[in-house]
Structure 1
Amino acid sequence: MKIMIVYYSAYGHVHRMAEAVAEGAGEMAGAEVVMRRVPETLPEELLKKIGIFDAQKAFSHIPVCAADELVAADAIIFGTPTRFGNMCGQMRSFLDATGGLWARGALVGKIGSVFTSTGTQHGGQESTILSFHTTLLHHGMIIVGLPYSFQGQTRNDEVTGGSPYGASTIAGTENERWPSENELAGARFQGRHVAGIAGRLFR
């Protein structure tokens, strides 16, 4: 059973969530967990100007994903920061390059799941994940979210990400806030939940 975590991270928040998703998925017996980044589309000069170039060095060891790699996975968990309530352009570009997989029905029946990060509490976490699901449905994937059996998403004692659509974190408008333990717990739960369903489905 192969679980792929495919994500884009600018400053590291989605990367940290991806690590937690991988931790959770890796707890399931028989799960092979693979992490991949989608290709960067911004020019290096701009990346340096806005501080992304140096931030991305921390996870530059994660290989860049090729679209054909998705075929070997039983479940794919996608991570993206939000851009105006939608996935980021880098992720959109990567998915737009999967037309050949769509034509072959190569992802039909695979599990798809999504997690995200926003700058603010109401910055589009749910809309980003829900709009992402449209692409997964066009590929014929089976969508898995973050069920309420993860009780951390019902907490009201702190500002926190997490919804039944998927794990999420709040990065802050200056990228100053990092995933809380509750948000990381949600990411681990989602990874474990997806791996568990994949194990039952493909056993």
Structure 2
Amino acid sequence: MTTVAIPYHSGYGHTEVLAQKVAEGVRDAGQTAVLLKIESASQDFAPFIEEITKADAVIFGAPTYMGDVSGVFKVFADATAGVFFSGAWKDKLAAGFTNSHSFAGDKGHALASLTILAAQHGMNWINLGLAPPNVTAAERGPDALNRVGSFLGVAAQSDNASPEVTPPAGDRETARLLGERVAKAAVRWAAGASAAA
């Protein structure tokens, strides 16, 4: 069984909803999800780094604040520098998800930051793999998959309301599908590595 680590920060609970759905997708694929909630910039990240090092794949999650990942997530990312120098995450699979209030909000920039973090570590990025809906109001409703139209990863949108009701069902399902996609890819990746050995 492969393991997918999901390190994430959630300031108001909306990104945590996505993290839970990503983990559900990993489990739906028959694999193990390890949720790693980043609580604050001052916490000890060593246990998280250890879990990610043991995992077969990682799915990073952070809200988009001011056009980029949250500052708390960035502190975690900076704390992975020791792993960068050792190369311990090289060739792992990686993916990402983000969330913000607006439909755009420069979520693409936040996802690019997650992609670059993975690339710095020599990881292999798994994109969302879902086409966006057609550009009609009926097809771009709250139940639509990839309704914001992102390709790098999940880009969800949440209103200023409780995480119990937002992000909507389509964004939640998009996150679940990302978890499932990465878990299945990790199984194939591990099988290929075994065959090559």
Interval of TM-score (by shorter of Structure 1 and Structure 2): 0.7 to 0.9
Identity of aligned residues (%): 28
Where does residue 67 of structure 1 map in the other structure?
49
Where does residue 32 of structure 1 map in the other structure?
32
DSSP-derived class of the 1:147 partner = coil
Distance of 1:64 and 1:120 partners within structure 2: 33
CA contact (8 A) 2:6 2:59 kept: yes
The match for 1:179 among 167, 171, 183 is 167
Distance 1:41 1:188, change over 3 A: same
1:78 aligns with 2:40: no
- RMSD, matched Cα: 2.0
Distance of 2:152 and 2:169 partners within structure 1: 19
Distance of 1:15 and 1:189 partners within structure 2: 16
What is the letter of the counterpart of residue 172 of structure 2?
Answer: L
Deviations 1:35-93 (A, max 9, x none): 01124138xxxxxxxxxxxxxxxxxxxx9953222100111001100122211111110
Residue 189 of structure 1 and its aligned partner are, at CA, apart by 0.7
Residue 166 of structure 1 and its aligned partner are, at CA, apart by 1.1
1:102 aligns with 2:84: yes
Correspondence list, 1:13-24, <5 A: 13-24=14-25
1:164 aligns with 2:151: yes
Distance 1:111 1:21, change over 3 A: same
Gaps of 5+ in 2: 192-197
Deviations 1:92-112 (A, max 9, x none): 100101111111100000011
What TM-score comes out, normalization by structure 1 length?
0.81
What TM-score comes out, normalization by structure 2 length?
0.83
CA contact (8 A) 1:3 1:74 kept: yes
Correspondence list, 1:40-59, <5 A: 40-41=40-41
CA contact (8 A) 1:5 1:34 kept: yes
Deviations 1:104-150 (A, max 9, x none): 100000011110001111111111101221111010000011113xx
Correspondence list, 1:182-197, <5 A: 182-197=170-185
DSSP-derived class of the 2:167 partner = coil
Residue 161 of structure 1 and its aligned partner are, at CA, apart by 3.2
Distance 1:65 1:187, change over 3 A: farther
CA contact (8 A) 1:86 1:132 kept: no
Residues paired across the two proteins, number: 178
Structure 1 runs of 4+ off > 4 angstroms?
A: none
Distance of 1:175 and 1:10 partners within structure 2: 13
What is the letter of the counterpart of residue 175 of structure 2?
Answer: A
The match for 1:113 among 95, 105, 124 is 95
